[in-house]
Amino acid sequence: MTAPDARLRDIVREGAALLTPMVAVVERCRTEPNPRQDLARACGALISSYGALRERLWSIPTSPLVTRVDDILYLEQRIVDEAARLAFRPHTHGWFKVAKAFGDGLTDSSDELLLLAARL
């Protein structure tokens, strides 16, 4: 692997650092019986943070690695978005089944982001 652009390294590391708060927010989204504004703000802040990282990424010349990092950041952003949608929909009987199946938000792509952050 050639030396990565320092901007790419920083973006990957910042994205990896967002995984801990992302897991906490997803957990709240799938377990809080009466979600409040602070949860909505936390979700929005994470979604915005992932979006800002992706915008910074777009200023780096395209490569397979840059494209893959963009895909991973987009996936993490969508997980938070879907968790927020889950949290703020009516908590009917079916909601609990969906919430349980939602998981913790971590995926193989999350693991890949952590690995990239350690390697770059």
Domain range summary for the chain, segments of one domain joined by +: 6-119
Residue pLDDT, tens place only, 82-117: 999 999 999 888 898 888 888 888 889 999 999 999
- Distance CA(9)–CA(83), nearest Å, equals 27
> Residue 53 in contact with residue 15, Cβ under 8 Å?
yes
pTM of the model: 0.91
Token pair listed for 6: 């320092």
CATH 1.20.120 fits 6-119, yes or no: yes
Q: What is the pLDDT of residue 4?
A: 67
Q: Following DSSP, what letter does each residue of the chain receive, concatenated?
A: -PPPPHHHHHHHHHHHHTHHHHHHHHHHHHH-SS--HHHHHHHHHHHHHHHHHHHHHTTSPP-HHHHHHHHHHHHHHHHHHHHHHHHTS---HHHHHHHHHH-SS--HHHHHHHHHHHH-
- Distance CA(10)–CA(117), nearest Å, equals 8
Q: What is the pLDDT of residue 3?
A: 57
